[in-house]
Amino acid sequence: MIRDLCDGQLEGAEIGSTEIMFTPEKIKGGIHTADTKTAGSVCLLMQVSMPCVLFAASASELRLKGGTNAEMAPQIDYTTMVFKPIVEKFGFKFNCDIKMRGYYPKGGGEVIVRMSPVKQLNPINLTDRGSVTKIYGRAFVAGVLPFKVAKDMAAAAVRCIRKEIRDLYVNIQPVQEPKDQAFGNGNGIIIIAETSTGCLFAGSSLGKRGVNADKVGIEAAEMLLANLRHGGAVDEYLQDQLIIFMALACGVSRIKTGPVTLHTQTAIHFAEQLAKAKFSVKKSEDEDASKDTYVIECQGIGMTNPYL
């Protein structure tokens, strides 16, 4: 997909290959389609293409096909409800239209992403966590699964959160995905906590065959609670997704996180190697010592779009 986005050459991109050679040329906008043909994640396609099309010659429309709610990747709801509002702080907007939802193992989902290029990205500062002001989410079923499963996931998640956070109303909507907007069978839940300073945290989980609905709801709730305990301003799944934008931005970006994940360490390593951005990761001073909180700081390279 990236090869096509920028008229590049790509060698060795086949199954079993241990080495690829990629030579990019001019990034061009326009309409591009990428189809995993499985439940391969449309969100991962979006992750890899977004930094490129921001520096394209003209506006882009990406038609991404595969899994919208798949394991080992962000769910599309996370991408639209958490990633989107935060990443737009870098100074761009994108539109994400979910045409069809698709689940493991068949996929069949389709998402259309539209965005215009920018001249340059602004740095961000996400270090002030604030206090949690609301908790909301959606528990969904699709295909042949009974609506009761969605209600059970939501109820179990609410009960779990209530044990720790008593003073907030927790609004998790059970949803039956419309037949014409979901391909195959699936169920899952995403729960989001919003803070007074506009930070967003999430916990999510997908149903699997033989796993009862309560367990799925509790898993998502526990993930959210764990992300709220560390005192950072982003959750563990957002931290690594912001690294490339911090590297490309003009100026110093700072994000406060919980424990730095292996994904984030890897993203920093390659951003330093490839973009020559400079990162520092330091234990946060202003927390009590019991909290495992860090500040990731980056002097961005101030990438400018040569076509604008």
Q: Which residues are catalytic?
A: 263
Neighbours of 132 (CB within 10 A): 17
Report the alpha-carbon angle 207-208-211, nearest 5: 85
At residue 275, the 3 state secondary structure works out as helix
Q: What is the CA radius of gyration of the chain?
A: 20
Handedness of CA 180, 183, 186, 188 (dihedral sign): negative
Measured in degrees and rounded to the nearest 5, phi and psi for residue 86 equal -80, -45
Could you give the CA distance from residue 301 to residue 161 in angstroms, rounded to a whole number?
A: 41
> 87 vs 26, 60, 111, 132, CA distance in Å?
24, 18, 18, 20
- Contact assessment for residue 300 and residue 253, using Cβ atoms and an 8 Å cutoff: yes
Bridge partners of 256? Answer: 295
Q: Which residues contact 220 (CB under 8 A, 6 or more apart)?
A: 137, 153, 157, 189, 190, 191, 203, 204, 205
Could you give the CA distance from residue 103 to residue 28 in angstroms, rounded to a whole number?
A: 31
Which is it for strands 252-257 and 30-35: parallel, antiparallel or unpaired?
unpaired
Which residues are annotated as part of the binding site for ATP? 47, 237-241
Handedness of CA 86, 256, 263, 211 (dihedral sign): negative
